[in-house]
Amino acid sequence: MKLNRQHLSQLGGAVALPAYSPDSLRQGIVHIGVGGFHRAHEAVYTDALMNQGQALDWAICGAGLRPDDRAMRDALAGQDYLYTLVELGDEPNLPVRVIGVINDMLLAEESPQALIDKLADPAIRIVSLTITEGGYCIDDSTGEFLADLPAIQHDLRHPESPKSVFGFLCAALAKRRAAGIPAFTLMSCDNLPHNGAVTRKALLAFAHLANHELATWIDHHVAFPNAMVDRITPMTSAAHRQQLADQHGVEDAWPVVCEPFVQWVLEDKFVSGRPAWEQVGVQFTDDVTPYEEMKIKLLNGSHLALTYLGFLKGYRFVHETMNDPLFRRYVRTFMDLDVTPQLAPVPGIDLDDYKDTLIERFSNQAIADQLERVCSDGSSKFPKFIVPTLHRLIEDGKSLERVALVVAAWALYLKGVDENGVQYRIPDPRAEHCQGLVADDALLTARVLGEEAIFGAAPAQSAAFVSAFELCLESLRKRGVSQTLHTLLRD
């Protein structure tokens, strides 16, 4: 049965339906970048609150700034913006739910003014973002805003027809300011350190280039809470769609699949109200930093530690990699010896239990998380998830062999062929540039480690790290992944 409002009451059974009427909702949030993660995270928390009869004035209007967003808009619009959330895990009878919290989605390419008007609507009190790590236009090596990007330059010249997220936000905030409408809270849900502070820095940098008075007003009136967000959400496949149809009789153009685990730690800094998300499991705090460091260094760092090695070995799913005892031991050793000593105490969290949970989550076979998804955009992920750990290990004079193996595996992965001779694509916006770094084997070490935009200056200047990197790279080339791990783990 096709998922839409007309058929909603006929579903039932094992599929949980919204306890609220979609007609009763009023929009309070615009979310820019509607993908799987947003639909499995912020939208799900808000839906849970609505199912309690609350927050009905916090419905979500999606927004897409890229041509690729049309596919999501069309899929959702074709089923009255309803979609199915399917939790996948190794335990039986996990929830399947229809989510109705999103009730519209605007595309910038169809009408920039319509999106500006929506962002300027007094009813919109939160604008949230999942625009990927690279979407904030911040140079990872310098921390400076990339003002020379073509989209940014276009928006500075043509503020009435913006293309970038910052152009749209400033156009809407300028309209709100002129009309005496209070500012909104700008809430990043992207997986990067101090995401609220990064959002603030980027928006103010753009605003100062466009209009100093507006920038000052934004600085005083817009809130930018930091957040730690977590839920593994693989790409939806044709098999997932078919499974939903076969098991539950639901025809959904774009369901979202995710693991059962979900976490959101959020600074309680909002200027125009917020949903009572704490009633459905969100943890509010004055300082998200320790949670953020824990998650980014342990989960995301360990993800990268296993993903490129797994891909080189010939695995294509995270659980396949974790089923290999060598990889399992390597990842846990990396967590215990290299990352954990760098972490401050995290209120309410036992780090050993957290690491045990990560191993279980990575091993979830039902979710079939793709290594390609974790591998993607490595040039943006390394500076945030691995490089801080790497720099600290160098500073502290600690063992560098395990972290050097992560970098060496990425360098070899950029060659585009695994150790079985299977070729693959490199899903990274900077793929051509990064592959150029490894094109000449004689210059590979100098070019990769000298890429300060990714690694900073420390690795290339550390003789110990250069030596560890070259030993790992040579071992991967000549002996393969498994034998390299055997040696590293002293088997």
Distance CA 93, CA 416 (A): 39
pLDDT(85) > 80: yes
pLDDT(358) > 80: yes
- What integer is the mean pLDDT of 288-295? 95
So what's the pLDDT on residue 195?
A: 96
Of all residues in the chain, the percent with pLDDT exceeding 90 is: 94
Q: What is the pLDDT of residues 367-425, one digit of tens each?
A: 989 999 999 999 999 999 999 999 999 999 999 999 999 999 999 999 999 999 999 99
Taking residue 92's Cβ as centre, other Cβ atoms within 10 Å add up to: 6
pLDDT(35) > 90: yes
pLDDT(4) > 80: yes
Alpha carbons within 13 angstroms on the beta-carbon side of residue 156 total: 17
Under the banding of pLDDT at 50, 70 and 90, the label for residue 9 is confident
Q: What is the pLDDT of residues 50-74, one digit of tens each?
A: 999 999 999 999 999 999 999 999 9
- What integer is the mean pLDDT of 332-358? 96
- The architecture in CATH of the region 289-488 reads Orthogonal Bundle (1.10)
Take residue 191 and report the two structure tokens written for it: 């997986």
CATH fold label, 5-285: Rossmann fold (3.40.50)
Contacting residues for 167 by C-beta, under 8 A, at least 6 apart: 151, 152, 154, 155, 156, 159, 206
Under the banding of pLDDT at 50, 70 and 90, the label for residue 142 is confident
Position of tokens 């070019």? 447
Take residue 70 and report the two structure tokens written for it: 């049309």
So what's the pLDDT on residue 133?
A: 83
- What integer is the mean pLDDT of 145-164? 96
So what's the pLDDT on residue 40?
A: 98
Under the banding of pLDDT at 50, 70 and 90, the label for residue 134 is confident
Take residue 373 and report the two structure tokens written for it: 């998804």
pLDDT(155) > 80: yes
Distance CA 84, CA 236 (A): 11
Q: What is the pLDDT of residues 236-277, one digit of tens each?
A: 999 999 999 999 999 999 999 999 999 999 999 999 999 999
Strand partners, 188: 129
Q: Look at the pTM and tell me if it is higher than 0.85.
A: yes
Output the average pLDDT for the chain: 96
Of all residues in the chain, the percent with pLDDT exceeding 70 is: 100
CATH 1.10.1040.10 maps onto the chain at 289-488
pLDDT(112) > 90: yes
pLDDT(426) > 90: yes
Distance CA 60, CA 38 (A): 11
Under the banding of pLDDT at 50, 70 and 90, the label for residue 341 is very high
CATH 3.40.50.720 maps onto the chain at 5-285
Under the banding of pLDDT at 50, 70 and 90, the label for residue 315 is very high
